[in-house]
Amino acid sequence: MSPETEVLLSVRNLTVDFDTPQGPFAAVKGVDLTLRRGEVVCLVGESGSGKSVTGFSLMGLVDAPGRVAADELRFDGRDLLRASERERDALRGKDIAMVFQEPMTALNPGRSVGSQIAEVMRIHGDISRQAAWERAVALLERVGIREPAQRAKAYPHELSGGMRQRVMIAIACALSPRLIIADEPTTALDVTVQAQVLELLFSIQAETGAAVLFITHDLGVVAEIADRVVVMRAGEVVEEGDVAQIFGRPAHPYTQALLAAVPDVDAPRDRGRRLTPRARAAAQGTPS
């Protein structure tokens, strides 16, 4: 496969502006971003760096007073800048999916979690209500929720934070998307549940071959999962490289400062122990 056909997402000169009482505010300034098929790219930076806004803009979820512009925005060769809203709606959920940071604000509190998973399949596929429900129950089992037939009838507030995030992963992966955008999906979880959710997300990624844009400020997580790292500061990309380069030879002072602020984060550990399929393949000396 040539480098051109490997590219799944190509973004050039992405900008996102918001109108404020003090005047226009540039949340994202001229960001370039490329994701290849099956690749895990971590978008990192402190709070307010523009990383989450970047993810939302790629999903088409920035509403007024926000304004999104780019020189190029292509998904699998398709020009999203010229795509109609209907065409972009067809991509969302089916080919591009998002795991949100806070499930309680992303899930509908007035509907059971099973019905919300089933709805994704009914919107994007020719499937009966009963078949969609059965598939939703199967997905809940796949993401590790016990008694899935009963839990499917539960409302979001009746589930723990870890279970709600598993539901979000089930929704995102329901139609085997080619790109998953995960916006700080483990921030509100304790360390044990965080590890379980990450293992789940990347085991599904290994099965489907999806690319993942993982947005986080947790450099410990980055060291475990990333193929490449993109560092953002104040709306701009200041450094980009593979995970070994960023952790072992950071070039930008901001990247150096981020790493220095987390004293227990060293260079990535044995790549055979990391979660990404490409990392495992590299460790085993096999093509990925």
- The reported pLDDT for the residue numbered 273 is 40
Is 226 part of a structural domain of the chain? no
Is 268 part of a structural domain of the chain? no
Neighbours of 164 (CB within 10 A): 21
Is 196 part of a structural domain of the chain? no
142 against 126, higher pLDDT:
142
Instruction: Copy the structure tokens of residue 127.
Output: 């499937």
How many domains are there within the chain? 1
Is 172 part of a structural domain of the chain? yes
Instruction: Copy the structure tokens of residue 12.
Output: 């050039």
- Residue 271, pLDDT > 60, answer no
> For the chain, percent helix, then strand, then coil, each to nearest 5?
40, 25, 35
- Residue 286, pLDDT > 50, answer no
Is 287 part of a structural domain of the chain? no
Is 201 part of a structural domain of the chain? no
Parallel, antiparallel, or unpaired: how do β-strands 96-99 and 179-183 relate?
A: parallel
Tell me the mean pLDDT in the region 132-137: 96
Question: pTM for the complete prediction?
Answer: 0.87
- Residue 288, pLDDT > 50, answer no
- The reported pLDDT for the residue numbered 138 is 96
What digits encode the pLDDT tens for the residues 212-233? 999 999 998 999 999 999 999 9
- The reported pLDDT for the residue numbered 280 is 41
Domain that holds residue 125: 103-176
Is 133 part of a structural domain of the chain? yes
- Residue 193, pLDDT > 90, answer no
Query: In the β-sheet with 179-183, what is the strand arrangement from edge to edge?
Result: 96-99, 179-183, 211-216, 40-44, 228-233, 236-242
Is 155 part of a structural domain of the chain? yes
- In the chain the first and final C-alpha atoms are separated, in Å, by 12
